[in-house]
Amino acid sequence: IKAEESLQKNMPFPMGAALNVSLLKSNSSYRNLIIKEFNSFTAENAMKFASVHPAKDTYTWADADYLVDFALANGKRVHGHTLNWYQSLPDWVKNFQGTTADWENLLKTHIQTVVGHFKGKVASWDVVNEAVNEDGTLRSTIWLEKLGADYISRAFQYAHEADPNALLFYNDYGHEYSTTKRTAIINLVNDLKSKGIPIDGIGLQMHTNITQTDANLTAAITTAAATGLKVHISEIDISLNPANTPGATYTDALAEQQAAKYKTIVKAYNVIPKNQQFGITQWNVTDGDSWILSFYKRADWPLPFDAQYQRKAAYQGILDGV
């Protein structure tokens, strides 16, 4: 593929990346790459609860606005992430005391203020993120504790009221490695649909690695598509060093295995119905800025671009999937 070509021009569905706002502001190689290669952006952290709503009556929009303005100025779609997650909660929420009605009001106010702020600019939202455990039960979060299982339906209704045009997603990880979790998530979204809750799509994070089987990766996508909802591969990265092996290095052999896994995923995604293909979003941009390095404190090379902003074999793997 020629240098002037790109993922967004060559792929038949939107291609996205999760962006770090400080790199976006400071690094022109990063900016040039994302403008060229992608047509959809997600905020890696800038729209999370603790980022935008650090105190009860305080909203801080600067970073999220910067990302949204940058995206729209460059003609990109913005996917919102995320309105409800058990992580990224500010202390004021953890310490909040109140009745069930007060908690309902807290959740509603947060969701409607954030969705309302970006109305007409952010096309879609991960409304609820990571609500299900691997054993299929609901994760015991502050929201489950204070509001019961119904918090999930409420979150979707609140978001829909604030922006009836936004597409609303349930987002989670593990579809490819836990059939129990996958089944629970599929049951959850089907239940929401049958109750008339406004849900448009299902996000498969797909934080995976080269030891994952092609059959499992494909089954995750096929099963999600069988709901009839839109499917977003929302946070893909394919680890080459999942076991954090001491002295691990990036080799051509690993690069080829990674390319093959990217291809498998794209191939499975490419055959679901067109109107269900919301797109594929990678979590971060290059092997230099991947969250895996800092979050898991290990050497890794999970993305289609290397730390020098060059295309890897994985990039060709993506193109080969269609």
Q: Which is nearer to ligand XIL, 22 or 100 (CB)?
A: 22
Between the alpha carbon of residue 22 and those of residues 46, 63, 178, 301, the distances in Å are 10, 8, 35, 21
Question: Concatenated DSSP letters for 25-72?
Answer: HH-HHHHHHHHHH-SEEEESSTTSHHHH-SBTTB---HHHHHHHHHHH
Q: Which is nearer to ligand XIL, 37 or 235 (CB)?
A: 235
Percent of the chain as helix, strand, coil, to the nearest 5: 45, 20, 40
Q: Among residues 6, 27, 45, 109, which is the contact residue for ligand XIL, using CB under 6 A?
A: 45
Ranges within 78-117 binding ligand XIL (CB under 6 A): none
Chain length of the chain = 322
42 binds ligand XIL (CB under 6 A): no
CB closer to ligand XIL, 44 vs 200: 44
Which residue's CB atom is positioned nearest to ligand XIL?
291
Among 57, 295, 297, 308, binds ligand XIL (CB under 6 A): 295
To the query of whether residue 4 is one of the catalytic residues in this protein, the response is no
Residue 141 makes contact with ligand XIL by CB under 6 A: no
Could you say whether residue 205 binds ligand XIL (CB under 6 A)? yes
Size of the site for ligand XIL (CB under 6 A): 7
Residue 129 interacts with ligand XIL (CB under 6 A)?
A: yes
Strands 207-209 and 77-85: unpaired
- Give start and end residues of each alpha helix (H) in the chain: 7-10, 21-26, 28-37, 49-52, 62-73, 91-94, 100-117, 142-147, 151-162, 179-194, 214-225, 252-270, 291-295, 313-320
Contact status: 176 vs ligand XIL (CB under 6 A): no
> Exactly one of 37, 44, 130, 176 is catalytic; which is it?
130
Which residues participate in catalysis according to the annotation?
130, 235
Interface ranges with ligand XIL (CB under 6 A): 44-45, 129, 205, 235, 291, 295
